[in-house]
Amino acid sequence: MVADIKTLSTLGITLSAAFASTGSAAQVSTSQPGEVAYASTCASCHGGPSAVISRTGSLNDPATQAQLDRFLARHYTRNAEQRRAIIDYLATLNRR
């Protein structure tokens, strides 16, 4: 009987850990592509996105977006899709 309780307890802990790790994986997969790209490409030097937004001005302006795209093309982000994702992500935050 005691062995059965220990087995059930161990099983419960194992299942809890499995569900917890699954939740973390699901959380990562729901990140915006631009958020992931910003975190991997920009954040180590520029910090959080609010620091970049405060320097760029309104990212709702197409001219500002084009200027940022040209900058990113020369500054570690050569992939056009990745640049677009970063700009869209920052613009979304800029609207809040």
- Regarding whether 94 and 52 lie in a shared domain, the answer is yes
How many folded domains does the chain comprise?
A: 2
- Structural contact between residues 52 and 90, judged by C-beta atoms closer than 8 angstroms: yes
pTM greater than 0.85: no
Q: Express each pLDDT in 23-64 by its tens digit.
A: 444 444 568 999 999 999 999 999 999 988 998 888 989 999
- Regarding whether 51 and 9 lie in a shared domain, the answer is no
- Structural contact between residues 61 and 90, judged by C-beta atoms closer than 8 angstroms: no
- Regarding whether 15 and 39 lie in a shared domain, the answer is no
43 Cβ contact list (under 8 Å, min separation 6): 49
What 8-state DSSP symbol labels residue 76? Answer: T
pLDDT of residue 5: 54
Number of other CB atoms surrounding residue 82 within 10 Å: 19
